[in-house]
């Protein structure tokens, strides 16, 4: 999750709408990430102002979500940036998360393959039964032949 996201880049100032638009998210989603402690924008009066760190963290949040990680896992990962300059613990934690996710996805893949096999068997059995009863399938519709 960590590649390509530099938390200490050049100074930028983005409004919530700009950040939301850049990532294809709603304002509400970004505020939710704030409520969860994932983003900590500065305030300019009543407006939120997002900097490079927030933008980089949001990129990591989005990537983590795409990979199927929970917000709690993403938060733990992001918090390691603040405590481990060498990022060794962050890398170990991410590797552990990635390995766990790989195992879970491999099991899901086996489950899906098993389900597909069972559904194909059912489809074949039904098609054979229909054929024995003189029913043929044309474009998804069944016709009875007398």
The full set of domain ranges for the chain reads 1-69, 84-146
Structural class in CATH, domain 1-69: mainly alpha
Among 119, 124, 75, which residue's Cα sits nearest to residue 97?
75
Question: Please, which pLDDT band fits residue 79 given cuts at 50, 70 and 90?
Answer: confident
Residues in the chain, how many?
A: 146
What's the CA gap between 137 and 144, in Å, rounded? 9
Q: Is 13 within 8 Å of 49 (Cβ atoms)? A: yes
Q: Find where tokens 């638009």 sit.
A: 21
Flag whether the pTM goes above 0.75. Answer: no
* Dihedral over alpha carbons 53, 5, 63, 13 (to 10 degrees): 30
What's the CA gap between 78 and 86, in Å, rounded? 14
CB 98: neighbour CB atoms within 10 A?
13
* Tokens coding 128: 């054979």
Above 50 in pLDDT, residue 24?
A: yes
Percent over 70 (pLDDT), the chain: 84
Three-class DSSP category at 70: coil
CB 39: neighbour CB atoms within 10 A?
22
pLDDT at 26: 97
């Amino acid at each position: 999750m960590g590649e390509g996201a530099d938390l200490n880049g050049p100074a930028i100032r983005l409004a919530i709408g700009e950040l939301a638009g850049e990532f294809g998210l709603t304002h509400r989603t970004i505020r939710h990430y704030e409520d969860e402690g994932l983003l900590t924008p500065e305030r300019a009066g009543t407006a939120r102002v997002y900097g490079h760190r927030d933008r980089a963290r949001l990129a990591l949040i989005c990537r983590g979500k795409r990979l199927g990680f929970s917000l709690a896992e993403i938060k733990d990962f992001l918090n390691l940036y603040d405590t481990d300059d060498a990022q060794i613990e962050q890398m170990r934690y991410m590797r552990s998360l990635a390995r766990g996710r790989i195992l879970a996805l491999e099991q899901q893949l086996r489950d899906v393959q098993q389900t597909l096999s069972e559904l194909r068997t059912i489809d074949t059995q039904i098609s054979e039964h229909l054929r024995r009863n003189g029913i043929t399938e044309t474009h998804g519709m069944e016709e009875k032949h007398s």
